[in-house]
Amino acid sequence: MNDNIGFNLDKMDVKLIGGMAHYEMQTNDGPLLLNDLLGKSLKLNFHREIYCTHCNKKTNKSYSGGYCYVCSIKLAECDMCILKPETCHYSLGTCRDPKWGEKNCMTHHYVYLANSSGLKVGITRASQVPTRFIDQGAVRALPIIKVGSRHMSGVFEKLFASEYKDKTDWRKMLKGDQEFIDLQEKRDELFELFGEDLDQLEHQFGEDQVSILEQESEIEIHYPVIAYPEKVSSLSVEKLGIIGGTLKGIKGQYLLFDTGVINIRSHTGYRVHLEF
Ligand SMILES: [Zn+2]
């Protein structure tokens, strides 16, 4: 395909089929299954234009991961509380868009453990399982607590983050040599360590709002990768304009080329056309 009309990049859609992550890119020609392009040549030609993922207006800079400035200060999904869920202020009546908040935040969330670049704790909307795990490049994940809102999940995450990391080291994640971690064992350790805090938070939020998941099993995720890079180098769209090479793998929201790696999600709204 060599179609110069172009389309605006969005995060890759992911599905877990038989334990393998499947990646689709939404192009102007419809969805493209990227797993099929492994080992083949793929080029992303960047037009050096960015379009807001919400209002579609052209913007010189991408704010909040794919928005224009106006949308980034207006939309609930661009508020600081999205990055720091424990600061969700819906209950104060100050949510930028209460309807959005009801749909996205005042709904079931999981606190989970994952092995992405090592052990980490994270949170996700229940409907985003296992998408969230794949987006982070986790090789294993284990939901450990189910709660009634985003805010509650953030409070638990912050508590556990004193013990386990809540960030992924993407360079390490892309090297692909994660050592095995028994997440169920780590969960048991965590529950023992924070037993009193869990009881207290369960009481504070209400027992019908918090389920401690003691029996959940791990989700294992394999990625379509022929070869992991020995040295992870990030390809700069600003410098290069055209990004690509032989597609060696896909992990998290990254495309791994023989020439380097690119995070597709962080280029949301960038106009491109593909060559393959
Ligand atoms: Zn906008």
pLDDT tens digits for 31-45? 999 999 999 999 999
Please tell me the distance from the alpha carbon of residue 59 to that of residue 69, in angstroms, as a whole number.
8
Pair 63, 89 in one domain: no
Whether residue 145 contacts residue 233, with contact meaning beta carbons closer than 8 Å, is answered with: no
- Cα(8) to ligand 1 centroid in Å equals 14
Pair 108, 200 in one domain: yes
- Cα(94) to ligand 1 centroid in Å equals 21
Pair 254, 196 in one domain: no
Pair 85, 204 in one domain: yes
Mean per-residue pLDDT of the chain: 95
- Cα(135) to ligand 1 centroid in Å equals 24
- Cα(195) to ligand 1 centroid in Å equals 45
User: Three-state DSSP class for 129?
Assistant: coil
- Cα(268) to ligand 1 centroid in Å equals 13
**Sheet containing strand 13-17, strands side by side:** 13-17, 20-27, 30-33
Whether residue 273 contacts residue 6, with contact meaning beta carbons closer than 8 Å, is answered with: yes
Read off the pLDDT band of 243 (50, 70, 90).
very high
pLDDT value of residue 178: 85
pTM, to two decimals:
0.94
Which residue is listed with tokens 């992991």?
A: 228
- Cα(73) to ligand 1 centroid in Å equals 10
User: Three-state DSSP class for 93?
Assistant: coil
* Domain span including residue 157: 79-220
pLDDT at 3 over 60: no
- Cα(98) to ligand 1 centroid in Å equals 19
How many percent of the chain have pLDDT more than 90?
93
- Cα(211) to ligand 1 centroid in Å equals 38
Segments in the chain forming alpha helices (H) = 69-74, 80-83, 98-104, 131-135, 150-160, 170-175, 183-193, 195-205, 237-240
The one-letter code for the residue type at 158 is K
Whether residue 75 contacts residue 97, with contact meaning beta carbons closer than 8 Å, is answered with: yes
Return all residues near 200 (Cβ < 8 A) that are at least 6 apart.
none
Pair 101, 35 in one domain: no
Read off the pLDDT band of 167 (50, 70, 90).
confident
DSSP conformation class of 59: E
Residue 36 in tokens: 């099929």
- Cα(67) to ligand 1 centroid in Å equals 5
Pair 60, 178 in one domain: no
- Cα(58) to ligand 1 centroid in Å equals 8
Pair 126, 39 in one domain: no
- Cα(80) to ligand 1 centroid in Å equals 17
- Cα(145) to ligand 1 centroid in Å equals 35
Pair 200, 233 in one domain: no
Q: 186, 202, 220 — which closes off a domain?
A: 220
CA 216 vs CA 21, 38, 213, 265: distances in Å: 21, 33, 6, 30
pLDDT value of residue 232: 95
- Cα(69) to ligand 1 centroid in Å equals 7
Pair 209, 117 in one domain: yes
Pair 228, 202 in one domain: no
Helix%, strand%, coil% for the chain, nearest 5: 30, 35, 35
E strand or H helix that includes residue 202: helix 195-205
- Cα(59) to ligand 1 centroid in Å equals 8
Please tell me the distance from the alpha carbon of residue 51 to that of residue 64, in angstroms, as a whole number.
13
| φ, ψ dihedrals at 257, nearest 5° | -105, 165
- Cα(272) to ligand 1 centroid in Å equals 19
Tens digit of each residue's pLDDT (9 = 90 or more) over 52-64: 999 999 999 999 9
Pair 188, 254 in one domain: no
Q: 200, 220, 240 — which closes off a domain?
A: 220
Asked if residue 146 belongs to a domain, the reply is: yes
First to last CA, the chain: 6
E strand or H helix that includes residue 30: strand 30-33
Asked if residue 126 belongs to a domain, the reply is: yes
Residue 160 in tokens: 């556990």
Pair 132, 12 in one domain: no
Q: 193, 220, 247 — which closes off a domain?
A: 220
pLDDT value of residue 252: 97
Tens digit of each residue's pLDDT (9 = 90 or more) over 117-164: 999 999 999 999 999 999 999 999 999 999 999 999 999 999 999 888
- Cα(52) to ligand 1 centroid in Å equals 5
